[in-house]
Amino acid sequence: MVTGGAGFIGYHLCRRHLLNGDEVVCVDNLSSGRRENVEELKQFPGFSFIEADVIDLPKVPVDRIYNLACPASPPYYQKDPIHTAMTCVLGAKNVLDLADECGAVVLQASTSEVYGEPLIHPQMESYRGNVNPHGIRSCYDEGKRMAETLFFDYNRMHGTKIKVVRIFNTYGPYMDRNDGRVVSNFINQAIRDLPITLYGDGGQTRSFCYVSDTVEAIVRMMESEEDFLGPVNIGNPAEITVRRLAEMVKERTGSASELCFCELPQDDPTRRRPDITLAKEKLDWAPAVPIEKGLDETVAYFQRIRE
């Protein structure tokens, strides 16, 4: 089962398992997931789709559960922050209860946002974060932190078989063009020769991981040794500024777009880079796709769907 399976990473994760010949149940309420992704996955005989909210999770017998259900971009998760928080917390409880009933392994897709505005750099899993508990991003940041708490408490109290990954910025084909994330924003603005919107001076940094690398790490974590629970950082330690990303997108699209600088949003992290020492050691994983190649693939996808 992949909750949030109609979303960006969820689609790629479903497809990965379907190509392996696995049976996959995708659960998604399509609030930010895309019906087009579901239609593409229906070509596989092992795929089934349930349109439902993880807050009201259907009981389906499964042996692996990936919990990706939650809007992951600020415009989506800030649209209904109460529902976002409940998706994180009640959704986590529901997948944990289902895992207990089925004897399944359940993986929580947590996020680099649990680190907030980090006071150490790069961020390692032992760092407890610097998160605003009542800001406009708190529904997501604190919701994901609480989900992690539930996962480890279920493991301690019930012996639930859990895995927790913390996903850093992921990009690639099948991103929603309107999700408000920086890569999709920049590419869509550039291919239309619209001003490319940067916040602050564009000097804030991010570390972008191509989606195939992220999915590979998630699958390896699911199949890792039983006593390795996580959390484990999944991301690309190659750090670049947002302004440099905009310039790279312009280069690849031949765009005439100008860079437009706007006020920095509240609680927007100024630096973000994962320490992936643990992923290398426990999962034998490191990202393989350089950002130049990943951007080429992503730009080609957005140009194709525009035509």
Per domain, the residue ranges of the chain are: 2-175+209-237+273-289
The predicted model gives 180-193 an average pLDDT of: 90
> Which backbone phi and psi does 176 adopt, to 5 degrees?
-75, 125
pLDDT of res. 267: 59
User: Which residues carry out catalysis?
Assistant: 140
Whole-model pTM: value is 0.94
**Which pLDDT belongs to residue 265?**
65
- For the chain, what is the mean pLDDT? 93
Q: Checking phi first, is residue 40 left (phi over 0); if not, alpha (psi -120 to 50) or beta?
A: alpha
Residue 85: φ, ψ to 5°: -60, -40
Contact 278, 163 (CB under 8 A): no
Q: Is the pLDDT of residue 270 over 80?
A: no
Instruction: Supply the pLDDT for residue 201.
Output: 82
Residues 6+ positions from 277 with CB-CB distance below 8 Å? 124
The Cα 177–Cα 85 span in angstroms is 24
pLDDT interval class at 307 (50, 70, 90)? low
Q: Could you tell me the CA-to-CA distances from 125 to 217, 231, 273 in Å, in that order?
A: 16, 7, 12
Instruction: Write the single-letter amino acid at 161.
Output: K
pLDDT computed for residue 42 by the predictor? 97
270: how many CB neighbours lie within 10 A of its CB? 12
Around Cβ 233, how many Cβ atoms within 10 Å?
27
* Closest of 26, 32, 19, 15 to residue 184, by C-alpha: 32
Separation of alpha carbons 288 and 212, rounded Å: 9
* 2-175+209-237+273-289: CATH class: alpha beta
Q: What is the pLDDT of residues 103-131, one digit of tens each?
A: 999 999 999 999 998 898 899 999 999 99
pLDDT band at 136 (very low <50, low <70, confident <90, very high): very high
